[in-house]
């Protein structure tokens, strides 16, 4: 199947949303706390509105699942579902680290078939379509992405805003294999792994939701990497329960996967 039209519209929506987000980024915006204790700004809401309006104009019959919209469970009856995180890394947005992203993915029959990640501060657009590879667009140039070939001197990452004692322990136990450790916000970790700049990152527990991982999933796989839950299963999407119960890992090669069963 061809999803080039969905990809084109998603890329345009992400870029337009990114421009609006950057306008707000450079002002003295306020931060509110949602019921789940996570932050939200008017940039999240503005990005959400722009993305939904642009997508729904072209794809009115598709379902939609977004972090900043009320969940409509009739989406479960639809084979097509856009999964959106208007700003992934709101804490990075608030703290002005620059490491936040805009994420739009398309699920078809519970599999991600298209994904777009836009990093507005970096002005970098990462995207992938199932079976057609992963790419980075910057300054008018489109670069095919491939994970690195490293099996030693590994570069690993962890979330800047959601540090995990288990991830720290895992990296400590494997420090002889690790050359460099990075703290990175948002889905940029997935972009950097797909670009060959990282070899691994891990997430324990059930704190993430579908919109936190959908774009990384396809971009990493289309770049030749591996993205699985901690039970080594591929993720399914557009589920009734949007939480990812079993954490995840991303690696460039299977031989670089650290042993983590004792940490589960």
This prediction has a pTM of 0.97
Q: Do 139 and 116 fall within a single domain?
A: yes
Using an 8 Å Cβ cutoff, are 96 and 103 in contact? Answer: no
Considering the domain architecture, whether residues 158 and 116 belong to the same structural domain is answered as no
Indicate the residue among 144, 162, 184 that finishes a domain: 144
Statement to judge: residues 123 and 206 lie in one domain: no
Name the E strands within the chain. Answer: 31-33, 39-41, 63-66, 80-88, 101-108, 111-119, 124-129, 134-138, 141-144, 154-159, 178-184, 200-203, 226-228, 248-251
Of 111, 126, 144, which residue constitutes the final position of a domain?
A: 144
Please compute the mean of the pLDDT values over residues 125-151 and round it to a whole number. 98
Joined together, the tokens standing for residue 147 give 């994970």
**208 in the same domain as 140:** no
Structural domain ending residue among the three candidates 112, 144, 176: 144
46 and 24 share a domain? yes
Structure tokens that stand for 2 in this block: 């061809």
Please count the structural domains in the chain: 2
Mean pLDDT, residues 196-218 taken together: 97
Residues of the domain holding 118: 4-144
35, part of any domain:
yes
Domain identity same for 139 and 158: no
Taking 90 as the threshold, does the pLDDT of residue 250 lie above it?
Answer: yes
DSSP line for 177-235: GEEEEEEE-TTHHHHHHHTTS-SEEEE-SS--BHHHHHHHHHHHHHTT-EEE-TTS---
Q: Are residues 84 and 207 in the same domain?
A: no
pLDDT over 90 at 45, yes or no: yes
User: Does one domain contain both 13 and 133?
Assistant: yes
- 110/203 same-domain check: no
Tens digit of pLDDT for each residue in 64-91? Answer: 999 999 999 999 999 999 999 999 999 9
- Same domain? For 8 and 136 the reply is yes
Shared domain for 216 and 178, answered yes or no, is yes
Tell me the CATH number at 185. Answer: 3.40.190.80
pLDDT band of 14, cuts 50, 70, 90: very high
pLDDT of 167: 98
- Note whether 126 and 171 are same-domain residues: no
In a domain, 149, yes or no: no
């Amino acid at each position: 199947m061809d999803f080039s039209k969905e990809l084109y519209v998603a890329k345009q929506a992400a870029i337009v949303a990114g421009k609006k987000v950057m306008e707000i980024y450079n002002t003295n915006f306020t931060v509110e706390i949602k019921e789940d204790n996570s932050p939200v700004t008017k940039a999240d809401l503005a990005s959400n509105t722009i993305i939904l309006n642009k997508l729904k104009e072209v794809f009115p019959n598709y379902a939609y699942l977004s972090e900043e919209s009320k969940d409509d469970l009739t989406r479960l009856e639809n084979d097509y579902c856009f999964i959106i995180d208007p700003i992934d890394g709101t804490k990075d947005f608030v703290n002005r680290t620059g490491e936040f992203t805009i994420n739009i993915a398309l699920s078809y029959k519970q599999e991600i078939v298209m994904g777009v990640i836009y990093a507005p501060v970096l002005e970098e657009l990462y995207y992938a379509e199932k079976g057609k590879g992963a790419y980075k667009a910057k300054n008018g140039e489109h670069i095919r992405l491939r994970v690195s070939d490293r099996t030693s001197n590994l570069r690993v990452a962890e979330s800047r805003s959601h540090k995990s004692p288990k991830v720290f322990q895992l990296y400590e136990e494997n420090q002889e294999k690790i050359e460099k450790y990075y703290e990175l916000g948002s889905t940029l970790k997935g972009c950097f792994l797909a670009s060959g700049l990282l070899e691994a990152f891990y997430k324990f527990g059930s704190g993430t939701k579908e919109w936190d991982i959908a774009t990384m999933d396809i971009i990493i796989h289309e770049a030749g990497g591996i993205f699985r839950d901690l039970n080594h299963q591929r993720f399914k999407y557009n589920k009734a329960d949007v939480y990812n119960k079993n954490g995840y890992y991303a690696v460039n090669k299977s031989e670089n996967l650290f042993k983590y069963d004792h940490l589960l």
